Amino acid sequence: MTSTNTDASTELDYSTAVSELDDILTELEDEALNVDILTERVKRASELITFCRERITSAKLGVEQIVADLEELGDAE
């Protein structure tokens, strides 16, 4: 299992965040997970989920803007 905790020097992208979330989920499903680590992993999962939601929202807004620009261009012709 590879965990890709990131620090300030590492650029996090959506696919890396999803992969790390998958790793955390696998850890959480393990009944032998150390309770002392549980809070840390759940906190990291929360951070990753927030990051992914922000990326999805940003992508959605970007696509909506592109579509609006194309519609304006079509109307101008």
The answer to whether residue 51 sits within a structural domain is yes
pLDDT in tens, 4-31: 444 433 689 999 999 999 999 999 898 8
The answer to whether residue 39 sits within a structural domain is yes
- The CA distance from 75 to 2, in Å, is 51
Q: How many domains does the chain divide into? A: 1
pLDDT in tens, 56-74: 999 999 999 999 999 988 8
Q: What is residue 10's predicted lDDT score, i.e. its pLDDT?
A: 63
| Structural domain harbouring 27 | 14-76
Give the pTM: 0.74
Q: What is residue 9's predicted lDDT score, i.e. its pLDDT?
A: 35
CB atoms within 10 A of CB 48: 20
In 17-46, which positions are buried (b, 16+ CB within 10 angstroms) versus exposed (e)? beebbebbeebeeeeeeeeeeeeebeebbe
Q: How far apart are the first and last CA of the chain?
A: 55
The answer to whether residue 41 sits within a structural domain is yes
